[in-house]
Structure formats: C-alpha cells, structure tokens
C-alpha cells in the first residue's frame, strides 16, 4: 500500500474517532435534558432554560470537535511536510504506551459494555414489575387512596429508581478506568444526593396514602367502639386534623431530606442547624393543633357532663366557647414562647414590645373594649344563653330577632326564623327582649263582625284553647280569652293569650290560628270572623300577673 493511501486512511480514522466521541457526548447531553423535561418538579421556565443549556452545550461540542479535527489535520500535515511516515509515527506513539494500559483499557471497555447490557435489562425488568405492583395495589385496594394517587406514587418511584440505577451504572463503569479520585468522589456525592432527594420525594408521596389508610382503619374501629367507653370513641372528633397532619408530615419529610442532603456536602453543613430548628417548629405547630383540639374536647366534657336540666345544659353550652378560647389562647401563647426559644431568640423583649403595642391598640380600639365588657356582662349576668329566643335593639330600632346560636366576648350570633344569621357586636346591643325566661304568652287576635254572637265565639275559642293544651306539650295553660281589644262600628277585635314554654310562642301561635280557623269553619262562622296575623317580629310577653309587658334588659347607655 502506498504511503499516500495509508496516510489518508489514518487521517480518516482519527477524524472518525473524534466524530464518534463527540456524537456520544451530544447524545448524552440530549438524553439528560430529555429526562429533566419529563420531570414534574420543574416549572416551564426552568424547562426552557434546560433546552437553552442543551443547545449551548451542543454548539460547544461542535466547536470543540471542529477545533480538534483542525488540530489533528495540522499535526498530520506537519509530519507529512517533515517527510515522516505518518503511519509509523502514529504507531510509534501508540507503542510507547505500556501494553498493560491497553490491556486494562480493553478490559474496562468490556466490563462497561457488560454492565450497560445488564443494566438495560434490569431497567426494563424494574419498570415492568413496578407497573405490575401498581396494578396489584389498585385492584386489591390495599391502601386508602384513589387510582390517580397510586399511579402518581409509582411513577415517582419508577422514575427515582430508574434514574438512580442509571447513575449507579455510570459510576460503576467509570470505576473500571483509572480516573482521578476526585472524579469518583464527586460522582458518588451526586448519586447520594440524588438518592436522598428521590427517597424523600417518594416518602412524601407515600405519606398522604399512608395517613389515609390509617385514618380509614381508625374510622372503622371508632365506629365499632362508638358506644364503648374507650379512647377510640373520640377519634371522630380528631378526623378534621387529618389534612393538617398530612401537610405537617410532608413538610417534616422535606425538611428531613434537606438536612440529610446538607450533611453530605461539607460547605453546606452550617444549614443543618437551621433545618433542625425548622423541623422542631413544624413539630411544635402540629402538637399545638392537637393540644387545642384536646383542650376543646376537655372543656366540652367538663362543662356539659351531667346536665340533665335543659336550661342548665344551655347555660353550660354558652360558656363552652369562652373556656375553649381561653385555653386556646393560652396554648398559642406558650407555643409561640417555645418557638422563640427554638430559634434562640429571647422572648422577654418580644413580650414586652407586644405588651406596649397591645396597650396602644387597646387605647385606640374603644369598640373592642366595649364589646368585651358587654360580652362579659351578657355571659355572667345571664341576660341570654344559647338556645334563647331574643330580640335585640341598638337604641334606634330592632336589629335582629331569633334564636341565639353562639356567644363569645366580642360577638353574638343569632339565627332568624327565616334562616338568616345575624352577627352582632356585643357593644352595639343596647336593649334585649328575651322570650325564653320561665314562660311566654302566645297572643292571637280574632276579628269578628260588630253584630256577631260573642258568647258563641267565646265558647268556640275556649274549646280550641283546651284542645291545644291537650295536643301540644309546649302549652302550659289553656288559652285564655282576654276580651275585646277595640270597638268599631264594623268589626270587633278579640284578643287571646296562651301561656307556653320559653321560645315556643311562634309555633304555638301558628298552630292556634289554624285550629281557630278550622273550628270557625265547622261552626259556619268563617264569614263573620277573621284570624289576624299578629306581628311575629314583635310577639308579646306577659308577666306573672298576666299583664302585657315588654321589659328589655339594658346593657349600656343609649347611643345618640
């Protein structure tokens, strides 16, 4: 073979080696970015940045490839210009390298090919059996999670394990070559960080399903032990904390993962203390939430147990929010105190500053003080309690009327008969009419023609009053006919009053009107009479002497 042909083939071989090498580098670059783009943990902006990085690296590889090819051609041209045999010179350079180097390089390449071959089948096997495991869990309903959650978990697990195995294969293949120790250390550090973060993400995804599974089992046990005097009977009260527990557990896993990652990188070790403090704060917040729930249940149990009397029960129920708020504020205060200690902050100056700010706010917020003072008066002077039917007045007119649903130091919540909820500031309540003290009178008025037979109508009304006493347990005495309310040339107005239990006057009024109408129809007196629709928003209340009165309780000075 002529020297020209041999030199040409050698130059082509060198260029082919460089092209293949840079092709593999570019292929690796594209594969890595492709995996990053599949990840759900990066935003679209970050993915766009990955694409730009890949493009820049591709351009860099192309530039390096062209430069090296030009360099190789220049060296070969110089050797040819020096009239040296290019083939012999190249082989002389290669033969100057020890034979053991080429032997080790060959063995390393063979081992690398073997590991890549085995890794390929291991990846396929792993993906296949993870998919089978996902289908098995979904079919058997082993955990309390929907199919989407199960699929998402196994996708994260599959991606984490496969990428971890790929990194492990790369590290193992590089270990076959005698590379500097720094490269191995850096690569194993990357693998450890990746595995720590991947495991943390998998556990975080698993935590919600695990909590839901435990909750499902606990709910079944609590339902079975509902009537038994065991701790499980309180489980239903704590189920509202499940979403909060899931959130706290997820944050704790993320923080724990970050701490483990910081421990692997020496120059990030200073962040370990901050991570541990954050983990303690999450634990304190979770325990605080549980303590608040336990305190609420304990207050309810202490105040409401053994109250067979309905009025005593409602009065105890009125004080439940007050006791719960006091305990909750106390728990929150100590939790904040502990959190300040956790972050190595002296709480004394903070508390002093908060006291000064609170004093300034208190002086400027007179309405708040007014609300609290009136709230204390309402609660401890027993103006009204939960379940009472009341009417409130702000000094300018009726504000709300209905059944009291809740009372705290600042506000009162009243449910009207039509369903609306009135939330009133205690400081704005000037007068109160309470229809739930001892008894109340249901007043119904009947309009009759001026020439009607009053004795007959009185008899019918008296009979109806006796019937409603027998039929309705809320009626304390039979209906009493009070007599004529007004005299007119065309009609007369007869007033009746029925003594009923507190807060039952509206229902009794409605029933009594219906019974009077039916009785008058049967007596063929409907054309001569009319049952008046009395003002439900201002029902009348009578005293023990059976005199009409409306005596509001005053809670403060009347506002101008």
* CATH code, domain carrying 427: 2.30.30.60
Q: What is the mean pLDDT of residues 196-208?
A: 80
Is 466 in the same domain as 409?
Answer: no
Which of the pair, 288 or 103, is modelled with greater confidence? 288
How far apart CA 123 and CA 191 sit, in angstroms, is 17
For residue 417, give both structure tokens.
């008969």
Q: Provide the pLDDT for residue 371.
A: 80
Q: What is the mean pLDDT of residues 35-54?
A: 76
Q: Is residue 425 part of a domain?
A: yes
Is 413 in the same domain as 505?
Answer: no
Is 355 in the same domain as 500?
Answer: no
Q: Is residue 544 part of a domain?
A: no
Strand partners, 389: 403
Q: Is residue 188 part of a domain?
A: no
DSSP string, 324-370: HHHHHHHHHHHHHHHHHHHTT--HHHHHHHHHHHHHHHHHH-HHHHH
Is 213 in the same domain as 246?
Answer: yes
Segments forming the whole domain that contains residue 126 = 3-178
Q: Is residue 192 part of a domain?
A: no
Is 162 in the same domain as 293?
Answer: no
Is 163 in the same domain as 34?
Answer: yes
Q: Which residue has the tokens 């109250």?
A: 307
DSSP string, 260-305: HHHHHSGGGGGGHHHHHHHHHHHHHHHHHHHHHHHHHHHHHHHHHT
Strand partners, 441: 499
Q: How far is CA 415 from the centre of its chain?
A: 28
For residue 447, give both structure tokens.
């309009």
In terms of average pLDDT, the best of 357-371, 377-391, 538-552 is: 377-391
Q: What is the mean pLDDT of residues 36-61?
A: 78
> Which residues, in sequence order, are CB contacts of 332 under 8 Å at separation 6+?
288, 292
What CATH number is associated with residue 532? 3.30.70.100
Strands (E) across 416-554 are located at 421-425, 431-434, 440-449, 480-487, 491-500, 529-531, 541-542, 548-549, 553-554
Write out pLDDT tens, residues 300-337.
Answer: 888 777 656 677 777 777 788 888 888 888 898 888 88
Is 227 in the same domain as 347?
Answer: yes
Strand partners, 205: none
Is 314 in the same domain as 280?
Answer: yes
User: Which DSSP letter does residue 33 get?
Assistant: H
Asked if the model's pLDDT at residue 368 lies above 60, the reply is yes
Is 286 in the same domain as 208?
Answer: yes
How far apart CA 289 and CA 286 sit, in angstroms, is 5
> What is the reported pTM?
0.58
Say how many residues make up the chain: 560
Is 261 in the same domain as 313?
Answer: yes
Q: Provide the pLDDT for residue 146.
A: 60
Of 162, 178, 194, which residue is a domain's last?
A: 178
Asked if the model's pLDDT at residue 426 lies above 70, the reply is yes
Is 461 in the same domain as 474?
Answer: yes
User: Which DSSP letter does residue 475 get?
Assistant: B
Q: How far is CA 441 from the centre of its chain?
A: 48
Alpha-carbon dihedral of residues 261, 262, 263, 264, nearest 10 degrees?
A: 60
Q: Which residue has the tokens 């019918």?
A: 460
Q: Is residue 555 part of a domain?
A: no
Q: Is residue 316 part of a domain?
A: yes
Is 369 in the same domain as 358?
Answer: no
Of 346, 362, 378, which residue is a domain's last?
A: 362
């Amino acid at each position: 073979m002529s020297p020209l042909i041999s030199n040409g083939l050698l130059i082509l071989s060198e260029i082919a080696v460089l092209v293949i090498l840079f092709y593999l580098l570019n292929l690796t670059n594209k594969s890595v970015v492709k995996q990053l783009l599949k990840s759900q943990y990066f935003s679209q902006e970050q993915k766009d940045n990955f694409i730009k990085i890949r493009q820049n690296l591709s351009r860099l590889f192309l530039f390096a490839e062209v430069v090296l090819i030009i360099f190789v051609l220049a060296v070969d041209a110089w050797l040819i210009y020096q009239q040296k045999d290019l083939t012999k010179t190249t082989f002389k350079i290669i033969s100057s390298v020890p034979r053991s180097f080429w032997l080790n390089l060959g063995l390393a390449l063979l081992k690398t090919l073997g590991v890549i071959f085995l890794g390929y089948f291991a990846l396929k096997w792993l993906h296949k059996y993870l998919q089978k495991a996902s289908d098995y869990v979904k079919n058997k309903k082993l955990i309390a999670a929907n199919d989407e959650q199960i699929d998402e978990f196994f996708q994260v697990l599959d991606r984490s394990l496969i990428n971890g195995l790929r990194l492990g294969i790369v590290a193992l293949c590089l270990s076959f070559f005698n590379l500097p120790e720094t490269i191995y250390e850096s690569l194993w550090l990357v693998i450890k960080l990746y595995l720590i973060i991947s495991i943390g993400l998998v556990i975080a995804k698993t935590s919600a399903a695990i909590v839901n599974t435990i909750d499902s089992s606990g709910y079944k046990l609590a339902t079975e032990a509902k009537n038994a005097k065991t701790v499980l009977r309180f489980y239903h009260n704590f189920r509202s904390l499940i979403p909060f527990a899931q959130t706290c557990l997820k944050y704790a896993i993320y923080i724990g993962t970050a701490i483990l990652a910081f421990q692997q990188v020496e120059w990030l070790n200073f962040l370990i203390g901050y991570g541990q403090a954050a983990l303690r704060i999450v634990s304190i917040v979770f325990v605080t939430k549980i303590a608040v729930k336990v305190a609420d249940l304990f207050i309810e149990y202490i105040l409401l147990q053994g109250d067979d009397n309905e009025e005593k029960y409602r009065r105890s129920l009125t004080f439940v929010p007050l006791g719960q708020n006091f305990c909750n504020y106390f728990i929150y205060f100590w939790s904040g105190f502990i959190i300040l200690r956790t972050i190595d902050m002296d709480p004394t100056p903070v508390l002093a500053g908060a006291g000064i700010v609170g004093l300034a706010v208190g002086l400027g917020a007179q309405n708040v003080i007014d609300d609290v003072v009136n709230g204390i008066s309402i609660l401890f002077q027993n103006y009204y309690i939960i379940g009472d039917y009341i009417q409130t007045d702000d000094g300018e007119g009726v504000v709300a009327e209905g059944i009291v649903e809740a009372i705290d130091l600042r506000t009162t919540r009243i449910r009207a008969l039509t369903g609306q909820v009135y939330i009133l500031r205690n400081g704005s309540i000037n007068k109160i009419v309470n229809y739930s003290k001892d008894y109340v009178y249901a007043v119904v008025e009947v309009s009759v023609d001026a020439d009607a037979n009053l004795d007959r109508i009185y008899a019918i009304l008296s009979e109806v009053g006796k019937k409603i006493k027998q039929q309705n347990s809320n009626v304390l005495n039979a209906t009493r006919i009070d007599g004529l309310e007004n005299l007119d040339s065309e009609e007369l107005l007869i007033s009746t009053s029925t003594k009923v239990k507190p807060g039952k006057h509206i229902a009794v009024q409605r029933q009594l009107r219906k019974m009077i109408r039916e009785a008058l129809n049967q007596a063929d007196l409907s054309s001569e009479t009319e049952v008046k629709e009395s003002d439900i928003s201002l029902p009348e209340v009578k005293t023990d002497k059976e005199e009409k009165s409306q005596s509001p309780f005053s809670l403060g000075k009347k506002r101008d």
